[in-house]
Chains A and B, each alone.
Chain A
Amino acid sequence: KAGVTQTPRYLIKTRGQQVTLSCSPISGHRSVSWYQQTPGQGLQFLFEYFSETQRNKGNFPGRFSGRQFSNSRSEMNVSTLELGDSALYLCASSLEGGIGELFFGEGSRLTVL
Chain B
Amino acid sequence: QKEVEQNSGPLSVPEGAIASLNCTYSDRGSQSFFWYRQYSGKSPELIMFIYSNGDKEDGRFTAQLNKASQYVSLLIRDSQPSDSATYLCAVMGTGFQKLVFGTGTRLLVSP
Contact = CB atoms under 8 A, between A and B. Distances in A.
Main secondary structure of the interface of A (DSSP, over half): strand
Interface in A15-55: 31, 33, 35, 41-45, 48, 50, 55
B99 A106 contact: no
Interface residues of A, number: 27
A71 B5 CA distance: 37
A53 to B, nearest CB: 10
Contacts of A90: 43-44
Interface residues of B, number: 22
A100 B104 contact: no
Interface of A: 31, 33, 35, 41-45, 48, 50, 55-56, 58, 90, 92, 94, 97-107
Given A31-B97, A92-B97, 11 more contacts: A45-B100, A56-B98, A90-B43, A90-B44, A97-B97, A100-B34, A100-B90, A100-B97, A101-B46, A101-B49, A104-B45
